[in-house]
Amino acid sequence: MKYVPLVWAALWRRKARTIFTLLSLTAAFLLLGMLQAANSLFSGGSINLSAPILIVQARVSFTNPLPMRLLPQLEAMPGVVSVSHSQFFGGVYKDVRNFFPQFAVNPERWHKTFLECHLPDEQYQAWTQSRTAAIAGKQLADRFGWKLGDRIPLTSQIWPLKDGTRAWTFDLVGIFDDVSKDSCVRQGNMYIRYDYFDDGRQFGQGGAGIYVLRLSDPNMAESVSRQIDARFENSPDETKTQTEKDFSLNFLRQLGNLNLILTGITVAVFFSILLVTGNTMSQAVRERIPELAVLKTIGFGDGGVLSLVLAESLLMCVIGGLAGMLLSVVVLKIISKLPFGFPPVTADLHVWLFAAASMVGLGLVVGILPAMRAKNLSIIEALAVR
């Protein structure tokens, strides 16, 4: 511990170089933090969908609506507590770029199935009482500054009204929040009433969309899924049943091999920061050789000198790395507030562990060669340089 000031002083021996190296480290870890947070979202690490919820879709594609007549059969499945149906509405709010998903649902069924969403009682009552009523997640409402009582015009890309026009209007009567902070997967959604939607649309009546099932026990997910799919096998309405988490992951995976791209960039960033810090450390030791020799002369052992250099390299990587990681948290927060509708990406424990391991690993790798050089220094030769 008493050597901390010594290491600290060595680090700041050349201020400009250290600051530039730290800034370079900060930029690298800013990027690493964000890329790994995104990576952990795409690989399912940070998708918080542990609720015992199954999604039943048509085997052929989730865009192909399942008929409403499946409802009683699904409700009768053992282990199923409640069933909600959900039809993608495909509405555009003012501009195509304002994308957010809307679903036509039955309010009572929604209320019983989506227990993770908290909708105040009087707002729920209002929703059940008016056919044009709709509710929105808090994140979505904040994004567009919606208040209760607002009229929300949506142009459906999929469903024309009976007269062939596409301009639907809904009244916002409820804004739901999440029961717990970590399950905000539906906060960006809007829910409209199925009865109003089904009566109003030009075609497709009686189509339910997909079914969302709540189970009594999450451990039953696999067996219930298998039973449901077996039940409808070889019928025109073959089903594919999976947990909500798998459903979402499969969707993200379809965007491409994001994992590979993110890993590729991470490796590139890592490699360049390795060179920058490695260069700094080797210069730092090279120009300090006489000083290190003096340290040895006054009694520092070979191991002591080695530790001093390694400590300096570690300290530099940790300071720069932490600064970058903290910055990445701030930037991710800002991005999630921007009106682009990005999925909420946060740096979870996994990401922090990765970052911590990277900082220490980087510090050791770039420190070890200069440290060995310092250790193997012969005092006579080193002092003779002058």
Partner 1 sequence: MKQILAVTWMNLRSIPSRYMTSLVVVVGIALVVGVLVAMLSMSKGFEYTLKGTGKDTRALLLSAGVTAELSSYLGADVVPLLRELPGIQRGADGKPMASAELLVITELRRGEGDVNVALRGVEPAGLPLRPEMKLVEGRLFKPGLREVIAGRAATRQFSGISVGSKLQFRGSEWDVVGIFSTDGDAHESELWTDADTARSAFGRPGASAILAQLDPAKPPAEALKALKATVAADPRFQVDVLGERDYYSSQSQGVTDNINFITVFITVIMAFGAVFGALNTMYSAVAARQIEIATLRAIGFSGLPVMVSVLTESVALALIGGLLGAAIAYLLFNGLTTTTLGQSFTQVAFSFAVTPNLVLRGLGWALGIGLIGGFFPALKAIRQPVAEALRGA
Interface residues with partner 1 (CB under 8 A)?
16-17, 20-21, 23-24, 27-28, 30-31, 35, 59-61, 63-64, 90, 96, 155, 157-158, 160, 164-166, 203, 234-238, 240, 249-250, 253-257, 261, 264-265, 268-269, 271-273, 275-276, 279-280, 282-283
- Beta strands in the chain, from DSSP E residues, in sequence order: 53-58, 66-67, 80-88, 91-92, 102-105, 117-118, 133-137, 151-156, 167-178, 190-193, 207-215, 239-243
| Residue 305 C-beta: closest distance to partner 1, Å | 22
Q: Which is nearer to partner 1, 52 or 324 (CB)?
A: 324
Q: Which is nearer to partner 1, 117 or 269 (CB)?
A: 269
Q: Which residue has the tokens 């052929």?
A: 60
Q: Which is nearer to partner 1, 2 or 15 (CB)?
A: 15
| Residue 346 C-beta: closest distance to partner 1, Å | 18
Q: Which is nearer to partner 1, 58 or 212 (CB)?
A: 58
| Residue 324 C-beta: closest distance to partner 1, Å | 9
Left if phi > 0, otherwise alpha if psi is -120 to 50, otherwise beta: which for 27? alpha
CA 101 – CA 139 distance, rounded (Å): 13
Q: Which residue has the tokens 């060179």?
A: 275
What is the C-alpha radius of gyration for the chain, rounded to an integer number of angstroms? 29
Classify each residue of 265-303 as buried b or exposed e, where b means 16 or more C-beta atoms within 10 Å of its C-beta.
Answer: ebeebeeebeebbbebbeebbeebbeebbebbeeebeee
Q: Which of 339, 341, 333, 332 is nearest to 101 (CA)?
A: 341
Q: Which is nearer to partner 1, 219 or 250 (CB)?
A: 250
| Residue 65 C-beta: closest distance to partner 1, Å | 10
Q: Which is nearer to partner 1, 72 or 271 (CB)?
A: 271
| Residue 104 C-beta: closest distance to partner 1, Å | 15
Q: Which is nearer to partner 1, 34 or 135 (CB)?
A: 34
| Residue 279 C-beta: closest distance to partner 1, Å | 5
Which amino acid would we find at residue 293?
Answer: A
| Residue 164 C-beta: closest distance to partner 1, Å | 4
* DSSP bridge partners of 104: 87, 192
Q: How far is CA 373 from CA 21, 151, 173, 298, 382, in A?
A: 21, 72, 71, 18, 11
